[in-house]
């Protein structure tokens, strides 16, 4: 059997991952994000689009899948290559949205799959690649957010049934589900999800994606 088929090839994580990104329509999402002078819905869109662009630029990612009920997001994503949109249907929460995307893309669990939160406006493709490289050696994994209590990325290897339990305090729940905690440095942009203006300031210091940066520059 070849090294690639056994998974021993150290480069076998390249361009293999399916990355599912859930995005809530801005009328309902980012309710805690209040930046004076900036339209909250426009900011939520910019953050989601910058996250999606970084994920598609990641060398480990074969396909980015967006699960949303927001048709405007699809229209605005025109310049981002090779995104696939899956309709969320009846809104049943973040985990159900992710599961819908995973099932649409890979019902037989043949590929390595990941769920990435859609509110990482400073995400660098190389930080996502580092995490996916580490995730390739374990059946399930989780990356903690900067606070250490939430999760920004959850993964499952080929053959592992998909499970996630996002939401407040999700990191402990993901460990309980059998996810290995990936050792990702605090400075990684992958850990900087943005729910509040203070978190946006921290992400800004790391370097925001172009849409979020342009919007904030209008203040």
Binding residues for phosphoenolpyruvate: 167, 170
Q: Please, where are the H alpha helices in the chain?
A: 3-6, 40-56, 71-76, 94-105, 125-135, 170-176, 197-206, 210-217
CB of 78 to ligand GTP, least distance (A): 20
If binding is defined by CB under 6 A, does position 96 make contact with ligand PEP?
Answer: no
- Given ligand PEP, ligand GTP, none, residue 124, with its beta carbon under 5 to 8 Å by kind, binds none
The angle subtended at Cα 92 by Cα 85 and Cα 98, nearest 5°, is 45
If binding is defined by CB under 6 A, does position 166 make contact with ligand PEP?
Answer: yes
Q: Which is nearer to ligand GTP, 43 or 136 (CB)?
A: 43
Closest alpha carbon to 203 in 146, 125, 130 = 146
Alpha-carbon dihedral angle through residues 153, 77, 33, 29, given to the nearest 10 degrees = -80
Return the DSSP state at 69: S
- Which is it for the CA torsion 149, 147, 49, 43, positive or negative? positive
Name the β-bridge partners of 67: 22, 86
Q: Of these, 50, 53, 106, 119, which contacts ligand GTP (CB under 6 A)?
A: 119
Tell me, by CB under 6 A, how many residues bind ligand GTP: 18
Using CA atoms, how far residue 124 sits from 37, 62, 132, 189, in Å, is 27, 16, 13, 6
If binding is defined by CB under 6 A, does position 51 make contact with ligand PEP?
Answer: no
If binding is defined by CB under 6 A, does position 91 make contact with ligand GTP?
Answer: yes
Q: Which is nearer to ligand GTP, 70 or 136 (CB)?
A: 70
Q: Which is nearer to ligand PEP, 192 or 211 (CB)?
A: 192
Annotated binding residues, written as ranges, equal 167, 170
The residues binding ligand PEP (CB under 6 A) are: 117, 145, 150-151, 166-168, 170, 193, 195
The residues binding ligand GTP (CB under 6 A) are: 22-24, 29-32, 67-68, 88, 91, 93-94, 97, 117-119, 195
């Amino acid at each position: 059997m070849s090294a690639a088929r056994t998974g021993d090839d150290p480069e076998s994580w390249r361009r293999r991952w399916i990355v599912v990104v859930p995005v809530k329509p801005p009328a309902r999402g980012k309710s805690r994000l209040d930046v004076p002078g900036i339209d909250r819905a426009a900011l939520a869109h910019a953050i989601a689009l910058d996250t999606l662009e970084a994920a598609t630029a990641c060398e480990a990612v074969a396909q980015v899948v967006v699960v949303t009920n927001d048709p405007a997001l699809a229209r605005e994503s025109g310049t981002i290559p090779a995104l696939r949109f899956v309709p969320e249907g009846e809104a049943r929460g973040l985990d159900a949205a992710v599961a819908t995307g995973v099932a649409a893309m890979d019902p037989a669990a043949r590929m390595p799959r990941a769920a990435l939160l859609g509110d990482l406006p400073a995400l660098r493709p190389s930080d996502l690649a580092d995490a996916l490289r580490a995730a390739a050696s374990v059946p399930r994994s989780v990356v903690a957010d900067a606070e250490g209590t939430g999760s920004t990325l959850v993964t499952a290897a080929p053959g592992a049934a998909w499970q996630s339990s996002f939401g407040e305090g999700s990191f402990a729940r993901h460990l309980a589900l059998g996810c290995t905690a990936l050792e990702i440095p605090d400075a990684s942009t992958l850990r900087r999800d943005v729910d509040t203006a203070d978190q946006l300031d921290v992400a800004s210091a790391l370097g925001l994606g172009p849409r979020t940066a342009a919007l904030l520059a209008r203040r």
